[in-house]
Amino acid sequence: MGIEKEEYIKKIAKEILYGIKNGKIASKEDIHRIKKYFGKKYCLSRLPTNSEILSHIKTKDERVIKLLRKKPVRTISGVAVVAVMSSPYPCPHGRCLPCPGGPPFSSQSYTGKEPAAMRAIMHGYDPFTQTKKRIEQLQAIGHSVDKVEMIVMGGTFTSRDFFYQEWFVKRCYDALNGEDSESLQKAMEKNEKARHRCIGLTIETRPDWCRLSHVDKILSFGATRVELGVQILDDRVLYAIQRGHGVSDIADATRICKDAGLKVCYHIMPGLPHSTIKNDMESFKMIFSDERFKPDMIKIYPTLVVKPSLLHEEWKKDIPAPLIEGGIKKSNLRQLVLKKMKENGWRCRCIRCREVGHRAYKDKIFPEKIELVKRKYKASGGKEIFISMEDKKNDILIGYLRLRFPFASHRAEIGKKDAIIRELKVSGISLPLKKEPGEEWQHRGYGKKLIEEAEKIAEKEGCEKLLVLSGVGVKEYYRSLGYKKDGVYMSKQLC
């Protein structure tokens, strides 16, 4: 960018800042109008982006940042998500039929063309640089990155050499901390009070690589969630696609993770070879009704025929070349599904769609009467209580907590008469640490109310101790509520 153009952008930024503060600019449309006016005045070949404007505005005024923030949904659920990808490495069992990638060109399960994969390739799969640059990108478009949810992607991470796993996660923490540490433990300790705190760490893996020892390792890294490549609950189909594990492995991994306090997400792949629509529907029903499963969340990836997958090779045997690349080619499937639902008069009631931030941003509906709600259910041998703060009339979810009474935890910290909080979340725009709320829903005490309710329930159930599996960057918050470090957990004695 030329020096002259840079000066013009500074002037436009100054005009926008002045306009917002004196009330003449009150919407994104007003900002665009000002850009067009001055762009024409200064004969600019293109209008400056919001990130360019923000780079010249040194203010913490939320009114200014809110109007200039791009892609508000990035942090509308209360956290800034930073996804990093490990280097290409083969899965231990070989390749599944639909798998589109793998070494030497991309991480297993990825084509290398996904946004996170392309960022990883650009930075040589270096975890420090991936994390640092993503934080800078989010900051540049006006997002708070005080509360970061890290996601480690790229094949079966738990099958990698332990020293690689430890190094990779440590470098992510180093990037969040803005400085190097001599060990993973030191990096995690620093992150408890860092500017960019890791409030959650997700690890992607396979059910058969999520056994007791694997779970212990990722817990030592500060993990709070696992994403399991489940695909389908059908042994026949899993065998046919050379998956290398069965339904029993999925059930075992789910229970082990939940009993250790981890949240569990399933990756589901409808449309697999040897399956049918009816079969896929039965699998979905089983996911939510069979007590062996009941994950906390799911991600749906419809089967695609992609070069150079083994599935593509099978298709080539019988199908003319011009017709080979099959499957859904749209990348905005969620929007298409929501559009179809709207046309049929349906409304999605998943947690994401009910969150206060999404309801306000997309539906312009705001909470009126907020009350505490409890939902009890059995899952993976234990008992779960989903405690939430909701506006039931408008179907708005402000915050929630997952309380579990384990079936048989293998962790020494968790006794037979103990309960564990697997998740605590207050939704809405991610608010910087220690910042007082304006219109935002975080930092209003909803989290504390949910924890107090969990403590009451656990005490009533005769529990001796309540544990929390929290992100490293949330430990200070729990200390303020009387919790103490207890192995990889935070805990409080109830009696």
At 387-445, the pLDDT tens digits run: 999 999 999 999 999 999 999 999 999 999 999 999 999 998 777 787 777 778 888 89
Give backbone dihedrals phi and psi of 420, rounded to 5 degrees, phi first.
-140, 135
Helices 127-140 and 115-122, axial angle in degrees (round to 10): 120
pLDDT digits (tens, 9 = 90+) for 341-393: 999 999 999 999 999 988 988 888 999 999 999 999 999 999 999 999 999 99
What per-residue confidence (pLDDT) applies to 19?
80
What per-residue confidence (pLDDT) applies to 1?
47
Q: Is 197 helix (H, G, I), strand (E, B) or coil?
A: strand
Give backbone dihedrals phi and psi of 143, rounded to 5 degrees, phi first.
-100, 145
What per-residue confidence (pLDDT) applies to 21?
80
Q: Do domains 72-343 and 351-493 have the same CATH topology?
A: no
In this structure, what token pair is assigned to residue 257?
A: 């993770």
What per-residue confidence (pLDDT) applies to 384?
99
Q: Which residue's entry shows tokens 């939902």?
A: 375
**Whats the size of the chain, residue-wise?**
495
pLDDT above 80 (res 199) = yes
Distance of CA 388 to the CA centre of its chain: 19
CATH architecture of 351-493: 3-Layer(aba) Sandwich (3.40)
pLDDT above 80 (res 477) = yes
Give dist(CA 392, CA 372) in Å, integer: 10
Q: What is the mean pLDDT of residues 198-202?
A: 97
What per-residue confidence (pLDDT) applies to 111?
62
Give dist(CA 158, CA 38) in Å, integer: 54
Average pLDDT of every residue of the chain:
88
What per-residue confidence (pLDDT) applies to 410?
97
Q: What is the mean pLDDT of residues 180-202?
A: 97
> pLDDT category, 324, cuts 50, 70, 90?
very low
Share of the chain above pLDDT 90, in %: 59
End-to-end Cα spacing for the chain = 65
What per-residue confidence (pLDDT) applies to 349?
93
CATH class of 72-343: alpha beta
Share of the chain above pLDDT 70, in %: 91
323 vs 458, which has greater pLDDT? 458
> With 0-12 CB in 10 A as exposed, 13-18 as middle and 19+ as buried, what is 408?
exposed
> pLDDT category, 112, cuts 50, 70, 90?
low
Q: Is residue 425 left, alpha or beta, with left meaning phi > 0 and alpha meaning psi from -120 to 50?
A: beta
pLDDT above 90 (res 313) = no
pLDDT digits (tens, 9 = 90+) for 115-137: 777 888 888 999 999 999 999 98
pLDDT digits (tens, 9 = 90+) for 219-264: 999 999 999 999 999 999 999 989 999 999 999 999 999 999 999 9
Q: Which residue's entry shows tokens 């935002």?
A: 440
What per-residue confidence (pLDDT) applies to 320?
42
> Among 1-5, 94-98, 204-208, which is the least confidently predicted range?
1-5
pLDDT above 50 (res 323) = no
Which residues 6+ apart lie within 8 Å of 330 measured at CB? Answer: 336
pLDDT above 80 (res 215) = yes
Helices 162-177 and 184-191, axial angle in degrees (round to 10): 30
CB atoms within 10 A of CB 426: 25
pLDDT above 90 (res 448) = yes
Closest by CA to 432, choosing from 75, 67, 69, is 75
Handedness of CA 219, 198, 229, 232 (dihedral sign): positive
Residue ranges of domains in the chain: 3-68, 72-343, 351-493
Q: Which residue's entry shows tokens 């947690």?
A: 351
Distances in Å between the alpha carbon of 375 and those of 291, 386, 400, 401, 454?
15, 5, 11, 11, 12
pLDDT digits (tens, 9 = 90+) for 46-95: 888 877 877 777 766 677 777 777 777 777 777 899 999 999 888 887 77
In this structure, what token pair is assigned to residue 132?
A: 């640092």
What per-residue confidence (pLDDT) applies to 203?
98
